[in-house]
Amino acid sequence: MTAIPQGRTRKSVLAGAMCALVVTGAGLTGCGGEDPDAGTNGVGKLAPAKIQSRTQSAARAAETVRLSGAVISNKRTYKLDMRLKDDGGTGSVTSKGVTFRLLRVDEQLFIKADADFWDHQDGKGDDGTTDATAAGKLEGMYVKVPKGDPAYQQLSVFTDKDVLLDGLLALHGELATDGRHEQNGIRTIRLTGDEGSGGKLDISLEGKPYPLLLVRAAGAGTLRLTDWDKDFALEAPAKNETVDYGQQLPSS
């Protein structure tokens, strides 16, 4: 029987112990030569800039997505739950404790809210009705937003898939990867800007490299991106559910 040199035995034991420590402490694999990217879409092997490019391309090409979470802009917090596709979107927006629903089908934009949303002061309109009276008539109705009204540009942004994704998915500063993670059972690679201060983005390692979780720079909110390519119905409301004020919305 050939004896194993003592030095080689010590090295083998040490290597095995180190591998066990890495696997146990960090939840990683690969000490036995396994590829951590086996069975993934391969983006984890790419340079950070290439990962970002692949992710943005996948997001733009997707037919639908659902965005939920919070966005902070100009010191104001907007809680979103929007389902979006190329020709419009639908969902809810909450700001300052007031929730309203948005629906856009092609270029037609509608807003639906309760009376409190419309009733901000008890003034009188040109027709002599008070704000409270008008608010009561608008409650639960889809109010059409005229394209010429300033509110159209402000609100339609929340229903525009490409505009929202292009604006939200941009990380700031030097790009880097920050390990492997998991979102709702899906393996992800985390991309960061300026070590996280410029934002963090978890990207799926399974199937298409869709972004799944965004932590915006400077604490400007966190968003989940789900239901990629899951179709949903998008139709204009019936006429008996709609109010059309013509060229200008009532003040809100």
- Domain range for 47: 43-60+166-226
84 in the same domain as 138: yes
- 211 inside domain: yes
**What is the structure's pLDDT at 230?**
97
138 and 75 in a common domain? yes
Residue 6 lies in a domain: no
- Distances in Å between the alpha carbon of 42 and those of 32, 47, 187? 20, 11, 12
Identify the pLDDT of residue 111.
95
Tokens of 31: 């000490």
Based on the domain organization, do 128 and 156 belong to the same domain? Answer: yes
Query: Could you tell me if 142 and 71 lie in one domain?
Result: yes
- The answer on 105 and 86 residing in a single domain is yes
User: What are residue 85's phi and psi, to 5 degrees?
Assistant: -145, 180
Considering its fold, how many domains does the chain have in total? 2
pLDDT of the residue at 138: 87
What's the confidence (pLDDT) of residue 137?
Answer: 79
SS (H, E, C) 134-201: HHHHHCCCEEEECCCCHHHHHHHHHHCHHHHHHHHCCCCCCEEEEEEEEECCEEEEEEEEHHHCCCEE
Pairing of strands 76-85, 186-193: unpaired
Question: Is residue 100 domain-resident?
Answer: yes
220 closest CA partner among 74, 7, 120: 74
Do the domain assignments include residue 5?
no
Question: Does one domain contain both 154 and 170?
Answer: no
Q: Let me know whether 154 and 71 are in one domain.
A: yes
- DSSP one-letter string for 41-103: -SGGGS-HHHHHHHHHHHHHH-SEEEEEEEEEETTEEEEEEEEEETTEEEEEEEETTEEEEEE
pTM for this model (two decimals): 0.79
pLDDT digit string, tens, across residues 29-59: 445 567 778 889 999 999 999 999 999 999 9
The dihedral built from the CA positions of residue 158, 164, 169 and 172, taken in this order, carries a sign that is negative
Low-confidence stretches of the chain (pLDDT < 70) are 1-33, 120-134, 247-252
Distance CA(178)–CA(48), nearest Å, equals 10
Question: What SS3 class is residue 222?
Answer: strand
Contacts of residue 79, Cβ cutoff 8 Å, sequence gap at least 6 = 69, 70, 93, 94, 95
Assigned domain for 104 exists: yes
| Residue 53 included in any domain | yes
Q: Tell me, what's the pLDDT at 136?
A: 74
Domain co-membership, 151 together with 75? yes
